[in-house]
Amino acid sequence: MRIAFCVHPKLAHATEQRIACVKWLAARGVEAVEVDSNQLLIDSPEFSQITEEAKDISLVCVLGGDGTILRGTRLAYALEVPLLGVNFGNLGFLSGATSGALFPALEAFLAGELHEDSRGMLSVDATFSDGSVVHYTALNEILIGRSAIGKVIVVNISVNGNPLPAPRGDGVIVATATGSTAYALSAGGPLLTPDHQGLCIVPVSCLGFHAAALVSAPSDVIHLSAQPHADQYPLLCIDGQPLETNLGENHVCSVVVTKAERPMVLLRYNTPDFYARIAHSLAGGSHAH
């Protein structure tokens, strides 16, 4: 068995724990493989090579915060293996274990005793100005936003071919239930339980009725396109990562977003349920998600 570790590069304690894990797992006949989190970014040219080299792993284990976990999700989803996030960051909404429970959580995984959470994913087809169409997946959300500071962007929205009022502001988020606790929440969107299968459309910093969030059905097809403006290009972000190829001559024109056919599996070890985590986090604490 092989386990891939993705570690936040600037968290010394997480790096120390990964080194300890290598020895701990080796004593149990398990190989630990390190994956550079920077190679898991949306536009990373090394990503395909990483997935090829990691084909035979059984688990992606991430030591860090939610941002690092989102990077690890790309690898785990591509390989169709579960992910165990161990919180070395702040909120840790996506993590399934605390840093102090790393070794018990790994032991539970080896024994097949970790709880599995199936999380809905976004399937995104982005069309660029050169006519190319690129497919992405996301665990939390995508954003069509403004690239120019101080300028508003108008985003056309349609659901199943039915046009909705076009919000004028900073942009529009489409989030999963998992992502409803992240950027979408800060923009005024609703909290959705993790097993909710629909998506959520949340305008960002928009005025009037146009600012109302909309919860969609699981089968809905959401289409977003930014109205052209001479002063700026629309910015596309996937799980908090802006696309490097997004600006200039070849920019994103529109995206089609649906619920992905296959879910992401997140593993949990002795963590509280959704409502307990929400209550604790809203009170200013942190918990594994």
Task: State how far the Cα of 104 lies from the Cα of 94, in Å rounded to an integer.
Answer: 18
Return contacts of 33-37, CB within 8 angstroms, 24+ apart: 33/2, 33/3, 33/4, 33/5, 33/57, 34/4, 34/5, 34/7, 35/4, 35/5, 35/6, 35/60, 35/72, 35/75, 36/9, 37/6, 37/7, 37/8, 37/9, 37/64, 37/68, 37/71, 37/72
Cα angle vertex 264, ends 173, 271, to 5°? 95
Q: Which entry of 66, 117, 170, 239 is annotated as an active-site residue?
A: 66
Task: State how far the Cα of 119 lies from the Cα of 263, in Å rounded to an integer.
Answer: 5
Task: State how far the Cα of 88 lies from the Cα of 222, in Å rounded to an integer.
Answer: 35
**Alpha carbon of residue 124 to chain centroid:** 13
The answer to whether 66 is a known catalytic residue is yes
Residues belonging to the active site: 66
